[in-house]
Structure 1
Amino acid sequence: MTGIKRTFTYLQKYLLPTAGALLSLLLVNAANLVSPKLLQRLIDDGISDLNMDVVWGVVIALIGVAAVRGIFNFLQGYLGEVTSQGVAYELRNSIFEKLQNLSFSYHDRSHTGKLMTRMTSDVELVRMFLGSGLLHLVSAIFLLIGTIVMLFTLNWKLTLLVMLILPGVGLIFMIFVKKIMPMSRIVQQKLGTLNTILQENLAGMRIVKAFAREGYEIERYGTANIDLLDANISMIKLFTAFFPLVFFMGNIGMVIVIGMGGLLVINGTLTLGELVAFTGYLIYLLMPMFMMGMIGAMLSRAEASAQRLFDVLDAKSEVEDAPDAISLPKVEGRVELRDVRFRYIGAESDVVKDLSFVAEPGETIAILGQTGAGKSSIITLIPRFYDVSDGAVLIDGKDIREVTLDSLRSQIGIVLQETTLFTGTIRENIAYGRPEATLEEVTAVAQAAQAHEFILEQAEGYDTPVGERGVGLSGGQKQRIAIARALLLDPRILIMDDSTSSVDAETEYKIQQALEELQKGRTTFIIAQRISTVRSADKILLLDKGALAAEGTHKELQETSELYMEILETQFAGQED
């Protein structure tokens, strides 16, 4: 139970409500243990002796016990929920913060749907155990011990007979817990798979409909849903086999008590009130056993979920600040890759091989190559989304592994190939990297990115809400907003990964005109898809299978590189200035 034990550390912030819940629980169980003794007195000293004073006294006492039980049951439930909700809050925050700090390589390997399951279902199962299961476990242990003590004080011989059923119940319980644990883990894995399919389908709904694959997606989801159903049914079968066995053992104990207890009452060695009290305590003895079954199932599922949560919390980021990392001062923009080799985790070969080049401050570098040549990999190494396998990336002569990630990335503006907009207004999306930016500053970069005019055409201008993932905006509009977002940082280094691929030639021309002015004093890397970008670049890096095949200006490469001319023919044929 290492996972559950580790979640106890999150209880430290909630010691007061936890202590209150435990105290309330103890008082509830104390009230429960008093009730059978009161019934014994009612029968032996009240009803048998026809003493109404005793009867009324016991009735009043029972009302008091019921009141105490009700009040502290409420407090136990309320304080337990306060504690469990607090722990769930801490867990969600911890996991979300961890996910923010994990490197790209972790997210490359992880399915979004499965991470969503951990943030929701797994956290909820842990919360339910801490808020209900743990208290019931403590309650069951306290009630079991207290009941055994009370049984021995009433009649130790009859109690020893009843104890004969406990080893059998314990064996059944151990088998149950041993089997339910792996089943719980399988159920959560199946749920994660189902959520992954759901997340992928919702994110790619336009593609599904465009290719008329609704039937296939329904079948795929249905298959995963059946797997989850079968896993749940297997767990239900175990439950339905366990509880009848426990009830059967409990009934055997009750038969022993009624048979032998009745004989003792007839022989005069046990009073009727003591027999009634004994049967009452026997119910309290069996109750924890039934509770243990439910708690065992809850504990097993919570443990499986806790382990999955700590799998995320224990994950190591391949890219993180060095212990002695310093803040990168304001850069001039000189970028150097020195003998760089890079391979994605799990890949069989390098995607970048012995690559070296220098980009001087203010230069515009166009990166060209066939698909899979390593273009996008290079630009992800500069902001240190990934660490190089060998060699070094230097900015102004400083190895980027020696500086903090925040100080590095805050000086690099990035427009990725896949444009992502967040829920909020257009203004908030542009100011994502600088939330404190004024409207004038936001407007200025929007104008530079040729976005100002279409933004003013929106219903509420810059305060127009952006739909989920930018629904309602064209691809070109989203990319212009993304460009404005990068420019607002006023970065010394600008990276544009196919950032004008979704705009028409006229819009791209306008953007290029604005960027030519904005690129002055900035080192700009562009993965180019248009001939105009290539021609205006100060330097072109031509990649072939991860290696640098040639570098130079457009004119120089036309004269010296057959591969360059081949790429011009295949990728840029038919394009006009």
Structure 2
Amino acid sequence: MQYRSRFFTGLGIAFLVALLNGVSLTAFYPLFDALGDQGERFYIQLSKHERKLLQKAVLIHFYKVELPEQLTGQQLSDRDWKLYLIPEVPEKIREEQSKAVLDALKDPPASRFSAIDRFHLITIVKWKLKINESGYSPRMVIFTALTVVFPIYLLRLVFHLVSVRLIAGTGYMAIRDLRRDLYSRLHELPLNNFYKEKTGYLMSRIIHDVELVAAVISSNMRDAITNIFFILTHVLLLVYLNYKLLFISMLTVPIILSPVSLFSRKINKSTRRSQDLLAELSGVLQEDISGVRTVRSFAVEDWMTSKFRAKNERYTWRSFKELFYIRMGPNLVELMSSLVTIGIIALGAYFIDGVNFTGGEFFAFLLTLLFIIRPIIQLSGMFGKIAQAEAAGERIFELLDSKPDVVDPPAPRPLQKMTQGIEFRDVEFAYPGTDKKVLNGVSFSVKAGQTVALVGESGSGKSTMMDLMARFFDPTAGQILIDGVDIRESRIHDHRSRIGIVQQEVFLFHGTIRENITYGRPGYTVKDAERAARLASAHDFIERFPEGYETVVGERGVMLSGGQRQRISIARALLYNPEILILDEATSALDTESEQLVQKALDRLFRNRTTFVIAHRLSTIEKADLILVVSGGSIVDRGTHADLMQREGLYARLQQISREAMQDR
């Protein structure tokens, strides 16, 4: 455990807090007895058992015997023996006798007393005798008790705050690390997970589920630990005060905690469903915000509102049930506790005898019992929160335990600048969880610096080949080699750092144009961004904005046109300066003017790098060094534009369709 020393230090201090609280409660014992005492001097009562222990300790200490009848005449004449013979109840031990016998309690012989009796003598009995030795009036005892209680409470408060800082702080640090690990795992998940899972579900796990776990292992965990220490230490105090009454009280604990078992299963089930519904609600909201243009263009605002309202209604009702179960358990526990308290007060009349169990002891017992009922109630409430956290934790660890399908090799090769080229060798691929092959026996080679175009019908496998090139997935069979080295022998980060991708649907982050061009590379300056923008034919339109490169592009770049977003994406790739460039339908959604500007920028981007181009507009790839015609997951033809047109195969037919489409525009 990373924070073991911090956590266990907090545990030790929390235990000290519980001990200090117990000590403060013992101060109320003489206080309660003194409240009803009308005498000039206050003397606290010793029970029969305590008198017996004290008498034994005195005789062993002074006379080296254990019973009064073993005293000899010589011994009696040596001392005022009446001071050392403990009186029978109900007579109390007064100042002079208390002072005389206190010497016997300095160090009772271990061989003559059990560990418990010895501890009892040197703590409780000695403490009582010191009170009697003082000879205070009842009012003075009350004042002294209150004077002692205040600094103890103050010290307890200080230690309590320190324990909160250490224990709760450890919990929050653990949650910080958990959220960090979840975020890291998110980047390792197979892309297939993002295709199948709604964004809202993933966000719900990282934010809402972690918050539920955070509450338990931070503040709730600290409260639970403190409450357990309070119960353990205060039960020992109750044992001393009256173990018989405590035993009767303990029999009621199952009754007090019975609502916990009744509601914990309901809470667990309700939490699972509530978190699922929250994820669905987040998913609907995320889709609505991201697709706001589509929603409004189809005039389906009312339909989306009704969809959101239905999810919101279900989530609200489920959240209410969850909260109802969580609150109901502790409230029932509190009701049961009140009934038990009434019963304990009734039993007190039976046990109080003024000697072995005084009125002060009973009130101290009742005060201590009432004090630990609160921790018991809080611990019972913890069961509901633990049930919540358990359900959230299962969802979290389901994500953490998921295995990435692309991993670094045990001994990665250092990355070298590409000098020879790229080779696909008998590459096959099927998406995880399916048997259908998307690619089947793909083989081709590309020299460094060449431009390769991939053409074919939609769904033929072109984008999948490039996903394998970028190691978003690994081939199920075959190899992809760079300079004769399998790309799986390099670190994923190193391999991807040599690749730049310009997609059809450009994703711009909410921020300024400069931040998007220099994305992920804060070391670049505005001049660097401007130089890349000029090469991407983007500088002129950027300068027309009032704020220039500091213009905020909005969510996903909605403030810019498609051509402008594409040119910023190209500027980003130019600044990145990759060895290998992948363009996936980079100009298919642009108008003619924008396409010409983007194509001009792409021509600059192609220079001195190996480029793969996927395009439906075949006019953009006629100058490629190699054209691969893909159909049904296989390469059915290859060559230059002139070669393929002469063969009048699939490529020629696609060219014809493309020209007809351009004429129709």
TM-score normalised to the size of structure 2? 0.79
Aligned to 1:134: 221
**2:412 and 2:491 in contact (8 A); partners too:** yes
Match of 1:6 in 2: none
* Distance in structure 2 (CA, Å) of the matches to 1:271 and 1:166: 25
Report deviation, 1:278.
1.7
Answering whether residue 598 of structure 2 is matched by residue 511 of structure 1, we say yes
- Is the contact made by 1:105 and 1:318 (CA closer than 8 Å) also made in structure 2? no
Residue range with higher mean Cα deviation, 130-139 or 565-574: 565-574
8 Å CA contact retained: 1:451, 1:481: yes
Structure 1 residues 141 and 82, CA, compared in 2 at 3 Å: closer, same or farther?
closer
Of stretches 79-88 and 466-475 in structure 1, the one that deviates more from structure 2 is 79-88
In the alignment, what sits opposite 1:207? Answer: 294
State the alpha-carbon separation in 2 of the partners of residues 259 and 140 from structure 1.
27
Change (3 A) 1:223 1:45: same
In the alignment, which of 612, 629, 632 is matched to residue 545 of structure 1? Answer: 632
Question: What one-letter code is carried by the residue in structure 1 that aligns with 2:31?
Answer: L
Q: How many residues align?
A: 566
| 1:541-570 deviations in Å (ceiling 9; x for gaps) | 222222222222223222324433332343
Given the alignment of the two structures, is residue 484 of structure 1 paired with residue 473 of structure 2, yes or no?
no
- Judge conservation of contact 1:106–1:317 (CA < 8 Å) in 2: no
Which letter does structure 2 place at the counterpart of 1:33?
A: G
The aligned residue for residue 262 of structure 1 is 349
AA aligned to 1:145 is: L
Q: Which residue of 2 aligns with 1:452?
A: 539
Give the whole-Å Cα distance in 2 for the aligned partners of 1:549 and 1:54.
102
Q: 1:294 to 1:379 in 2, by over 3 A?
A: same
Q: Specify the alignment match of 1:33 in structure 2.
A: 22
Which residue identity lines up with residue 572 of structure 2 in the other structure? R
Q: 1:280 to 1:572 in 2, by over 3 A?
A: farther
8 Å contact from structure 2 (residues 14, 226) kept in 1: yes
Larger CA Rg, structure 1 vs 2: 2
The farther-off stretch of 212-221 and 431-440 is 431-440
CA 1:332 to 1:442, structure 2 compared with 1: closer, same or farther past 3 Å? farther
- Alpha-carbon separation, structure 2, partners of 1:159 and 1:385: 65
8 Å contact from structure 1 (residues 432, 485) kept in 2 = yes
Q: Are 2:522 and 1:533 aligned? A: no
Q: 1:65 to 1:437 in 2, by over 3 A?
A: closer
Match of 2:321 among 225, 234, 259: 234
- For 1:189, what is the secondary structure of its paired residue? helix
What is the SS of the residue equivalent to 1:321?
Answer: coil
Flag the 1:464–1:235 CA change in 2: closer, same or farther, 3 A: closer
Of residues 9, 12, 32, the one that matches 1:43 is 32
Instruction: Report the alpha carbon displacement of residue 533 of structure 1 after superposing the two structures with TM.
Output: 1.2
Decide whether the 8 Å contact of 1:45 with 1:54 is kept in 2.
yes
1:73–1:540 CA distance, 2 compared to 1 (3 A): same
Contact residue 177 and residue 300 of structure 1 kept, 8 A: yes
Which of the numbers 184, 188, 192 marks the counterpart of 2:271? 184
Aligned residue for 2:438?
A: 351
Q: Quick check: 1:332–1:492 contact (8 Å CA) kept in 2?
A: no
**What SS class does the counterpart of residue 573 from structure 1 fall into?**
helix
- Asked if the contact 2:168–2:221 (Cα under 8 Å) also holds between the matched residues in 1, the reply is no
Does residue 412 in structure 1 map to residue 470 in structure 2?
no
| Native 8 Å contact 1:441 1:488 kept in 2 | yes
Deviation at 1:131, TM superposition (A): 2.1
Identity, % of aligned positions = 35
The change in CA–CA distance for 1:251 and 1:366 in structure 2 (over 3 A counts) is same
Per the TM alignment, residue 339 of structure 1 is displaced from its structure 2 partner at its CA by 1.5
Q: In 2, are the aligned partners of 1:333 and 1:493 still within 8 Å (CA)? A: no
Mapped contact 1:261–1:270 kept (Cα < 8 A):
no
Please tell me the residue identity of whatever aligns with 1:259. A
Counterpart residue type for residue 41 of structure 1: P
Gaps of 5+ in 2: 40-137
CA shift in 2, pair 1:164/1:437, >3 Å: closer
Q: Offset of 1:266 from its aligned partner?
A: 6.8
Given that 2:330 and 2:381 are in contact with CA atoms closer than 8 Å, whether structure 1 keeps it comes out as no
Correspondence for 2:114: none
TM-score w.r.t. the length of structure 1 is 0.90
Match of 1:365, SS? strand
1:39-438 alignment to 2 at 5 Å? 39-50=28-39, 51-265=138-352, 270-332=357-419, 334-432=421-519, 434-438=521-525
Query: 1:570 aligns to what?
Result: 657
Question: 1:361 touches 1:523 (CA, 8 Å); kept in 2?
Answer: yes
Secondary structure of 1:465's aligned partner? coil
The whole-number CA distance in structure 1 between the counterparts of 2:327 and 2:531 is 68
With 309-318 and 231-240 compared, the bigger mean Cα shift is at 231-240
Shift of residue 495, structure 1, vs aligned partner: 0.8
Structure 1, 237-246 or 389-398: larger mean CA deviation: 237-246
AA aligned opposite 1:253: V
- What amino acid maps onto 1:331 in structure 2? M
Distance 2:357 2:577 in 1: 91
- In 2, Cα distance between equivalents of 1:158 and 1:434: 71
- State the Cα distance separating 1:388 from its structure 2 match: 0.9
Q: Deviations over 1:277-297 (max 9, x none)?
A: 121122133222211122112
What secondary structure, in the 3-state scheme, does the structure 2 residue paired with 1:541 have?
strand
RMSD: 2.6
Which amino acid is 2:660 matched to?
A
Which blocks of at least 5 consecutive residues in structure 1 are unaligned?
1-8
- The alignment partner of 1:354 has SS state of strand
- Residue 412 of structure 1 and its aligned partner are, at CA, apart by 1.8
Map 1:464-503 → 2, pairs under 5 A: 464-503=551-590
Deviation, 1:170, is 4.7
Deviates more, 1:209-218 or 1:264-273: 264-273
Q: CA deviation at 1:269?
A: 5.7
Moved more, 473-482 or 253-262: 253-262
What residue identity is the alignment partner of 1:104? Answer: L
Deviations 1:383-441 (A, max 9, x none): 21111111111222221111222332222221022211223332332223654345554
CA distance in 2, matches of 1:427, 1:333: 35
SS of 2:252 mapped into structure 1? helix
**Which letter does structure 2 place at the counterpart of 1:42?**
L
User: SS of 1:533's equivalent?
Assistant: helix
SS at match of 1:246: helix
Q: Over residues 148-200 of structure 1, what are the superposed CA-to-partner deviations in whole Å (9 max), with x where a residue is unaligned? A: 22222112222222121123345543444344333333322222222222222
SS at match of 1:294: helix
CA-CA distance at 1:338 after TM superposition: 1.6
The answer to whether the 8 Å contact 2:272/2:391 transfers is yes
How many Å separate the matches in 1 of 2:303 and 2:513?
36
Letter aligned with residue 32 of structure 1? N
Matched residues in 2 for 1:86 and 1:75: separation? 16
Question: Structure 2 CA distance, aligned partners of 1:328 and 1:269?
Answer: 84
Matched residue of 2:437: which SS? Answer: coil
Bigger relative contact order (CA 8 A; separation at least 6): 1
Q: CA deviation at 1:230?
A: 3.0
The equivalent of 1:5 in structure 2 is none
Distance, in Å, in 2 between the alignment partners of 1:372 and 1:441 is 38
Aligned to 2:95: none
Secondary structure of 2:455's aligned partner: strand
Distance 1:433 1:120 in 2: 23
Looking at structure 2, the residues matched to 485 and 333 of structure 1 have their Cα atoms a distance apart, in angstroms, of 26
Task: Decide whether aligned partners of structure 1 residues 228 and 565 sit closer, same or farther in structure 2, where only a CA change above 3 A counts.
Answer: same
Q: Indicate conservation of the 8 Å contact 1:415/1:495, yes or no.
A: yes
1:338-363 deviations in whole A, cap 9, x for unaligned? 22111222344122222222222332
